[in-house]
Every structure is written in structure tokens, then in C-alpha cells.
Amino acid sequence: MKDENKLAEKAELSQALKALFIPVALFIATVTFAAGIFLIYNEEVAGWGFLATTAVLAVWGFIALLQYQNSYRARGIMPDREDIMVEFTDELPLSAAKNVENVEEAAVPAEPEQEPRKQTVL
């Protein structure tokens, strides 16, 4: 269990770093793309280097996005938070069952249906 908690901590750190990296990488890719297009438009060879950097950053950012899932958190394993783990059952807690009975007793009786009114045609 201790080993699993250490792996879960590592996975949380990795997820936090990816959460910061993804938007930063895509922003920098946008800026380098603009710089590369500007340099290519002005017939500078360095523009192609900026476009290559853009491609690497964009692909790297999307790979990080696809690997963003934290499998430990998805299974409910959260380090240093063992009290959060909850077992799910089909039964309601006792307090909820009492509230359901009170709601049924306090329900307003339905109004009796009124007979349709007769309409006269002139």
C-alpha cells in the first residue's frame, strides 16, 4: 500500500505538471508559428526553424493532453487522503430513509378532478 501511495503521489505530480505544460506549450507554439510565418514571408531561412519548433511543441503538447489521465485518481487512490475513500452500496443511509418516509407523509393530497364545464354554442 505504501508503494502504491508513492506511485499515486508521483502520478499526481505528473498530472499537475502536464496541466501547466499543455497551455504553455500551445501558447509558445502559437508565438513561434507567428514568428516563423513572418520570417518566411520576409524570405528568411530561420523561419523554417521556427516552424519546426512549432510542430515539435504542438505535438508534444497534444501527447501530454492524451496522457493526462491519472489512473490512480480514477481508481480512487489518493495519497494522504485515505478518509475520502468511500464504499458505494445500493442501500440508503438511515438518515436518508427517514427523510423519504417524512416526505411521503407530508405530501399534499391531490385535488379532486373537477367535472368539465358545459359549454353552450350560440
Q: What are the sequence ranges of the domains in the chain?
A: 2-81
Q: What is the pLDDT along the chain (122 residues), one digit of tens a residue?
A: 567 777 777 877 888 888 888 889 999 999 999 999 999 999 999 999 999 999 999 998 888 888 777 766 666 666 665 545 555 666 666 665 555 555 555 555 556 667 767 777 76
Residues 78, 87: Cα–Cα separation, whole Å: 14
| Cα 53 to Cα 33, 59, 118, distances in angstroms | 8, 10, 82
The identity of residue 50, as a single letter, is F
**The model's pTM:** 0.53
